[in-house]
Amino acid sequence: MKKTLAPLSVLFEPRSVAVVGASRRPGSIGAEILRNLISFGFRGPVYPVNKAAEVVLSCKAYPRVIAIPDPVDLAVIAVPREFVLEVVRDCGRKGVKGLVVITAGFKEAGHEGVAREIELQRLTREFGMRVIGPNCMGLINAAEDVRLNASFAGGVPLPGRVAFATQSGALGEAILADARDLGLGIAKFASIGNIVDVTATDLVEAFGADPAIDVILLYIESFGDPRRFTQIARSISRDKPILVVKSGRSAAGARAAASHTGSLVGRDVAVESVLEQCGVLRAQSVRELFTMASAFANQPMPNGDRVAIVTNAGGPGILATDACAGLGLRLATFSNATRRALERALPQGAATQNPVDLIADADATRFQKALTAVGKDPGVDAILALFVSPVTTDALAVARTIAAAPSASGKTTLACFMGKEQSDEGVKILRGAKVPVYRFPEEAASALAAMCRWRRFRERKPGELPRFDVDAAAARRVLAKARKAGKTLLLGGECEPILRAYGLPVARSIVAADVGAAMRFAGEVGYPIVLKAESSAFVHKTEVGGVRANLENGDQLFEAFSDLERRLRPKAKDLRIRAQQQVKGHAEVILGASFDPVFGPLLLFGLGGVYVEVLRDVAVRVHPITDVDAAEMIRSIRGWPLLSGARGAKPVDVAFLEEMLLRLSCLVGDLDDVAELDLNPLIIGADAKRAAVVDARIRLRPKERG
Amino acid sequence: MKKTLAPLSVLFEPRSVAVVGASRRPGSIGAEILRNLISFGFRGPVYPVNKAAEVVLSCKAYPRVIAIPDPVDLAVIAVPREFVLEVVRDCGRKGVKGLVVITAGFKEAGHEGVAREIELQRLTREFGMRVIGPNCMGLINAAEDVRLNASFAGGVPLPGRVAFATQSGALGEAILADARDLGLGIAKFASIGNIVDVTATDLVEAFGADPAIDVILLYIESFGDPRRFTQIARSISRDKPILVVKSGRSAAGARAAASHTGSLVGRDVAVESVLEQCGVLRAQSVRELFTMASAFANQPMPNGDRVAIVTNAGGPGILATDACAGLGLRLATFSNATRRALERALPQGAATQNPVDLIADADATRFQKALTAVGKDPGVDAILALFVSPVTTDALAVARTIAAAPSASGKTTLACFMGKEQSDEGVKILRGAKVPVYRFPEEAASALAAMCRWRRFRERKPGELPRFDVDAAAARRVLAKARKAGKTLLLGGECEPILRAYGLPVARSIVAADVGAAMRFAGEVGYPIVLKAESSAFVHKTEVGGVRANLENGDQLFEAFSDLERRLRPKAKDLRIRAQQQVKGHAEVILGASFDPVFGPLLLFGLGGVYVEVLRDVAVRVHPITDVDAAEMIRSIRGWPLLSGARGAKPVDVAFLEEMLLRLSCLVGDLDDVAELDLNPLIIGADAKRAAVVDARIRLRPKERG
């Protein structure tokens, strides 16, 4: 179905626009949209549609869309909710191909609204229309040959190469206003509202292909189809930075988002993972979104993370240094040539090390010499120029000097002008030269850190989704059999055939009908042996003392077997005693999978025991994971040194662990029935041949009704 | 000496001021200071001092301070560096009691500058003067009966009840300008420069006692005397919030700060601890300092952490919810009465749960009803009112409504007005009513979280420094003996008498001359026994296989003893084999102390082994610690559940651990010779009677020269 839809250009590049609900009442939404369309200079004709008025804002108005004599490409609908569907039918008959439905009162407004929204979706699909909204604030395309402002936003965006899509209309309004205030130019804007058709992902795709756009900003509360988002964002983010504020981070926020958009939000750990996996930069706040965006929109990417700080004030220099260090940037070490040049250029008392402190009375010439010296240093990738304007210095001359620096050095340059009142004009000069200028040094550092983060994303190998020689059919048979027996939970040895089918080694075991069988098994695989009690009467066998380990010989095996029988049989009629080969290794890890209603299977890795349960030291990724993801997961836990062999710990076979994670990823991808899976623990040493899962749990997905 | 100094009022409340170096050249510092003094309306006479000019800025000028016929209380010195000392002598002769030394070129500017600063300090002490600076930007006292602006800051502070002290003049300039821009009123300001006399701590003390001041802001790079700061800040912070930006956080930043101020910065973990211990709120950035300050300066403290969010836009409401949850605030659960009131007041589609979403077309009346309803709810401690101004709503009416809300409800109310351009006037209305207004919802949440944090600081019991019955003399004798023997490191059993003297239980042990002695010892204390090899040839005995544990009987003891002798004697001529009682317990913890050059002894607590070494899960506090500090330290590590008995772990005797930390604090306080101490591990179970330190290390401080 999706493929037959018209491209988004029917929305962003219409040749003519009708405003349905165009009103004569100043301040009404219908009036504002019409005014915006006209005053922004839309290149084609705009037709007001108003049941009563013959003229609106000096334009001839029509009582219905079908009464317009000429073709209409796009209709903006701002009529009361009860008339929307009628208008859509008119538009369909008229051959309108794009709709912007501003009107609210759909999915967000109870049962009746939901029904209205379903009908809106059905109708517009039937007519083959592309739709933005309903319940949105419209869209903008600032391209010179279009000049479409089909929104009721106050104020006009500055020219620029940033695109912005928002799931919250109100936030869109605010962000457009702030963008103007902060000098960020917008090429395209869309408020997607309740999303009956065009999604944030559709917009990312369109913005990605749009040569007028360098940077993509998003505010989203929910992912529609996270797989499609991942796929598209992963490829676009290699060319253009995608910066996102994703709300619903906390449980309370997720509930609020769900009630706001009517969509499930998914676990935030999955959101983090998806964004990280597809190279999308998440801003922690709207303020940070702007901080990042103005750097990406204006400056070239740095070639590395070595920063030079040039300042006329010690305090801000130290704050910038702290912020850089805290964000993982490196303070550049200057070459001898640079040091000498700085020593020649600067007076006594100035600091020629990084941060370079020009001291308070530094004028434009001193700034110029210092910026030139560090700009030439091959060990410098980016420059933060900090200026506090003292009354005694010509701030505008300094601004002009900093503004000229990047074109001379070719290096990423961000500025901080402190003491706002004296420097508004300086800020304008810098912005005019495309040097982003921040109010506080920490913000300049954070913008630069985001750029370096994106550079690392792009340098990352794309990764592969390896396939293994597995026996999915065998695993499915075991699951089907369990289903048939009415089981929803497979424990311990019951999981073994499924894991073996995917090449996940499991400690050899049998259910021993009697102690003799256990002894024969021990004779086969060798001592030591572990005995484990299994029963539907208990889930955690350790809590009932159901595990006896380190059984070194037949005597100990006999004693332990009898003990389990005696203690547990009375409570557990279906008691089975499993005899298991005792695995040797020095590290316990957990591999797991669980199902998120939005993102599907999540894969988990951590160190066993208290590391996961108490310290919550785990890595989570959304399925499917590449080999690069698997390698990153294992290395990202705090306890990684315990596996890598650092600090005197014995190393484990990490390549083997990576393969196990990838095999697990295949397993959860193949076997839809698996809702939750824990391999806890897998014991591993330096030699992976002896590594094995010693306990496992698989929870089946509840059978769908019908 | 300190006590005989004049109070700071000689600086902040002079009856007359001389400006030495008052210049006729516009834009020069001397000219700006004089202009500021006059235009800010200083209540007493101002005397320009200028070698050449007879009139400066229409004021009669004098060639030297001693030429002024009337008394001079305060002199502001802005002459070239080489004339400063001469001017100070003049001031001394004239009986000037306060100096503000603006001139730079002292400690921060090489050898010559250091000598000049030492002489400045000597001279001013001799004259009994109080001094701000040198290398500073001056001070301001906005009190109506004084009106002193002895600074070269551009612009005039707004009236208000905030005091601000800064160690960076440039940052002071910037912050004054931003304060004005953000509507934050300043009562007193001082830039302390190189600190030959007045310190940040002195100012905190003065501001604390000043009835005109409600909130104290600090920017500091180094602590002068951290103990005095702690003592003073701890008492003042119970009455007035102290908000601080402390830079030099990172290693690179600390180096930069040291080169900027010539002072050591100390480890940031110690800074965090000191600030936490004395209830000072640390802002992570200058921006956050303002965010916090405007809430503290304007609104009453909340009675709890239950927040109601009222918004006309879903997106910002979700962002605020996320931020509140992330910062440890709670979303209030409304009473049934509140829910009913909201349902009556709000249209269909609005959310009557928290966050309350009034939807986009909410006018002032709807805001008013919602704010009244949640304001009355006894389950609400604070209100965040968020407003995105749509073109269709009267933003000023909404601003007036929000502005009136706190006086009706009596509850802490913070506002966020988004979409700046349309709402500048609204922001003014809110500020006029002392409702802090932020640009982004996350900032409002962070300001509120800071208030709640201060509330918790104030509610915290002050804590006591318990004394124990210890034998300091015995411990000192052991240390003196070690010194005499030329030792700088005491290992294992060598530490035992020192620890016992402070009531820190140590597993019983002897140095066993031969296996027979070890066996006799085992007969006395009982098996199992541990043997440990000690020698100056190795520090980490485990790395040479120098520990043999779990020796259950004489045979095993014999085998182990022989093994150690055979393997280690060849490498370690001074090998001693220690036989130790094997302690039983299920948790290993580390107690430690180390010496910071600025803060003195730091105390450390963590779980033993990888928890400290790999996961860095430790709590650090600056000595001395109170019983409350000790309790907090133990509970603040991530691994706390492993000690508390949560999640099936066996609990340990936590009260005993607290006592051990307090005893350790006494030890490091008494014994100056101890530079570093590790009790690693102390083994403990549920019954503290059997807990004991099983290994220890004490490093002595290097002997001071001379």
pLDDT for position A3 = 42
Torsion (CA) A274, A277, A280, A285 in degrees, nearest 10: 50
Please answer yes or no on whether B168 and A313 come within 8 Å at the CB atom.
yes
pLDDT at A35: 94
Residue that has been written with the tokens 């509840």 in this structure: A702
How far A670 CA lies from chain B's nearest CA (Å)? Answer: 34
Q: Best residue in B221, B244, B272, B391 to probe A by mutation, most A CBs within 10 Å?
A: B391
Give the pLDDT score at B332. 97
In this prediction, residue B3 carries a pLDDT of 43
CATH value at residue A550:
3.30.1490.20
The domain that contains A384 carries what CATH number?
Answer: 3.40.50.261
Distance CA A415, CA A404 (A): 12
Instruction: Enter the pTM of the model.
Output: 0.90
* Residue B50, in any domain of the structure: yes
Check A181 against B32: CB less than 8 A apart.
Answer: no
Clarify whether residues A573 and A484 are in a common domain. no
Q: To the nearest whole number, what is the mean pLDDT of chain B?
A: 91
Residue A538 has pLDDT above 90, yes or no: no
Distance, CA of A156 to CA of A141 (rounded, Å):
11
From chain A, pick out residues whose CB is under 8 angstroms from the CB of B110: 348-349
Angle A395-409/A364-376 helices, nearest 10 degrees?
20
**Can you tell me which residue has the tokens 């439905």?**
A101
Domain end (from A135, A169, A204)? A135
Find chain B residues with C-beta within 8 A of A80's C-beta.
Answer: none
B575 and B591 together in one domain: no
The tens digit of pLDDT for each residue in B661-706 reads 999 999 999 999 999 999 989 999 888 888 899 889 999 988 754 4
Q: Are residues B86 and B202 in the same domain?
A: no
**CA atoms in the 13 A half-sphere facing the CB of B10:** 19
- A532 vs B224 pLDDT, higher one: A532
Chain B residues whose CB is inside 8 A of the A353 CB are 259
pLDDT of amino acid B422: 54
- Flag whether B59 is in a domain: yes
Chain A residues with beta carbon closer than 8 angstroms to that of B106: none
Considering only CA atoms, give the Rg of chain B. 32
Q: What is the CATH number of the domain that holds B107?
A: 3.40.50.720
Rounded to the nearest angstrom, the minimum Cα separation between B133 and chain A is: 15
Does residue B141 form part of some domain? no
With CA atoms as reference, the chain B residue closest to A155 would be B421
Q: How confident is the model at residue B262 (pLDDT cuts 50, 70, 90)?
A: low
Same domain, B206 and B259: yes
Q: Is pLDDT larger for residue B545 or for residue A219?
A: A219
* CATH number reported for the structural domain that contains residue B657 in this entry: 3.30.470.20
B541 pLDDT above the threshold of 90:
no
The pLDDT of B257-281, averaged and rounded, is 80
Q: What is the pLDDT of residues B449-487, one digit of tens each?
A: 999 999 999 998 888 999 999 999 999 999 999 999 999
A318 vs B contacts (CB less than 8 Å): 168, 221, 247-248, 253, 256-257, 260
| CB spacing of A614 vs B638 below 8 angstroms | yes
The CA-based angle A606-A611-A614, given to 5 degrees, is: 125
With beta carbons less than 8 A apart as the criterion, state whether A59 and A34 touch.
yes
Average pLDDT over residues B47-71: 94
In Å, how far is A324's CA from the nearest CA of chain B?
9
A105 within some domain: yes
Task: Determine, for residues A285 and B610 on separate chains, whether the beta-carbon distance falls below 8 Å.
Answer: no
Quote the minimal CA–CA distance from A644 to chain B in Å: 11
Which of B28, B29, B391 lies closest to A27 in CB terms? B391
- A521 domain residue, yes or no: yes
Residues A523 and A560 in one domain: yes
Chain B CB contacts of A642 under 8 Å are 610, 614
Based on the fold, state whether residues B513 and B503 are members of the same structural domain: no
Residue of chain A nearest B221, judged by CA positions: A315
The residue of chain A nearest to residue B644, with distances taken between CA atoms, is A614
Decide if A109 and B360 are in contact by the 8 Å CB cutoff. no
Q: How far apart are CA A472 and CA A502, in angstroms?
A: 7
Domain match, B121 and B165 both: no
Out of B316, B325, B419, the one facing A251 most closely (by C-beta) is B325
A503, A540: one domain: no
Q: Does one domain contain both B266 and B345? A: no
ipTM: 0.89
Report, as an integer, the average pLDDT of A317-328: 95
Pick from A322, A351, A359: which is nearest to B250 by CB? A322
pLDDT band at A156 (very low <50, low <70, confident <90, very high): confident
Two structure tokens written together for A472: 């999915």
Q: Do the domain assignments include residue A142? A: no
* For range B592-614, the mean pLDDT: 85
Output the average pLDDT for chain A. 91
Using the beta-carbon criterion (under 8 Å), do B421 and A357 form an inter-chain contact? no
Looking at B534, B553, B580, which one is the last position of a domain?
B580
Choose among B323, B357, B647: nearest Cβ to A614. B647
Residue of B nearest to A177 (CA): B419
Within-domain flag for A152: no
The pLDDT assigned to A349 comes to 76
| pLDDT per position as a tens digit, A441-486 | 999 999 999 999 999 999 988 889 999 999 999 999 999 999 999 9
Distance from the Cα of B523 to chain A's closest Cα (Å) equals 30
Distance from CA of A381 to the nearest CA of B (A): 17
* CB nearest A391 (choices: B154, B168, B638): B154
* Same domain membership, residue B451 and residue B374: yes
Asked which of B234, B268, B298 is the last residue of a domain, the reply is B298
Do residues A319 and A272 share a domain?
A: no
Rounded to whole angstroms, the Cα distance separating A65 from A129 reads: 15
How far away is chain A from the Cα of B693, in angstroms, using its nearest Cα?
23
What digits encode the pLDDT tens for the residues A65-98? 999 999 999 999 999 999 999 999 999 999 999 9
Q: Is there a contact between B325 and A155 if contact means CB atoms under 8 Å apart?
A: no
Average pLDDT over residues A662-677: 94
B174-221 residue pLDDT tens? 888 888 888 899 999 999 999 999 999 999 999 999 999 999 999 999
Range of the domain at B220: 157-298
Write the DSSP assignment of B64-128 as a string of letters: SGGG-SS--SEEEE-S-GGGHHHHHHHHHHHT--EEEE----SGGGHHHHHHHHHHHHHHHHHTT
Record: contact A109-B649, CB cut-off 8 A? no
Nearest C-alpha in A relative to B320: A253
Interface touch A245/B171, C-beta < 8 Å: no
Query: CB–CB of A586/A692 below 8 Å?
Result: no
Distance from CA of A1 to the nearest CA of B (A): 31
Residue of B nearest to A255 (CA): B318
Which candidate from B110, B418, B616 shows the least CB-CB separation from A349? B110
DSSP state of B439: S
What is the pLDDT averaged over residues B106-132? 93
Residues A576 and A593 in one domain: no
A185 contacts A157 by C-beta, under 8 angstroms: yes
Amino acid A706: pLDDT:
41
Which of A62 and B494 is assigned the larger pLDDT?
Answer: A62
CB contact under 8 A, A315 and B648: no
Number of domains in chain B: 5
Model confidence at A2, in pLDDT bands (50, 70, 90)?
Answer: very low
- Distances from the Cα of B301 to the Cαs of A247, B355, B413, B449, B455, in angstroms? 28, 21, 10, 11, 7
Instruction: Decide if B639 and A610 are in contact by the 8 Å CB cutoff.
Output: yes
pLDDT for the residue A4: 63
Q: Which of A168, A326, A355 sits opposite B313 (nearest CB)?
A: A168
Residue A324 lies in a domain: yes
